[in-house]
């Protein structure tokens, strides 16, 4: 298998129960650009040593303003923008791995995006593919620039 890009999609569980998602990230991390969404984002974090745990508030079908650094997949997206969230877990800022940086967050500091500092790997906690989100095309377009 020689993928050109990998997208790790959302799912109903946690990274420990996400099948081969974290294994795929580990295997392809240095050779293939990777984008994770929701559970995929959590898998990206965990693959690099981040702690994934309860988000503090359950967000199922709720909209939040997402702030970001304007880099990578967020290059052409206004900050903040409204995004639909469907999750009860999130990446913790505690013991955050040095290889990653926080690229997006909510007003109350919940991690909504991570980016590897030197590899083309990003994750977003919200659901950019939701029909209610209008930023999916921009995020995917920026991902395919990698």
Residues labelled as active-site residues: 38, 127, 129
Q: How many CB atoms lie within 10 A of CB 140?
A: 15
Longest dimension (CA), the chain: 41
Task: Round the CA-based radius of gyration of the chain to a whole number and report it.
Answer: 14
Which residue shows structure tokens 């991902």?
143
Q: Are the CB atoms for 122 and 36 separated by under 8 Å? A: yes
Task: Tell me how far apart the alpha carbons of residues 69 and 89 are, in angstroms, rounded to a whole number.
Answer: 22
């Amino acid at each position: 298998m020689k993928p050109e890009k990998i997208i790790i999609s959302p799912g109903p569980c946690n990274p420990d129960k996400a099948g081969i998602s974290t294994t795929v990230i580990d295997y392809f991390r240095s050779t293939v650009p990777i984008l994770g969404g929701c559970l995929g984002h959590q898998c990206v974090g965990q693959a690099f040593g981040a702690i994934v745990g309860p988000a503090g508030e359950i967000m199922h079908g709720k909209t939040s303003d997402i702030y970001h650094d304007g880099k990578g997949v967020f290059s052409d997206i206004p900050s903040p923008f409204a995004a639909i969230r469907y999750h009860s877990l999130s990446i913790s800022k505690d013991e955050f791995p040095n290889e990653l940086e926080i690229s997006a967050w909510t007003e109350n500091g919940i991690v909504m995006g991570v980016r590897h500092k030197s590899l083309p790997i990003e994750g977003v906690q919200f659901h950019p593919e939701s029909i209610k989100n209008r930023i999916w095309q921009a995020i995917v377009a920026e991902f395919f620039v990698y």
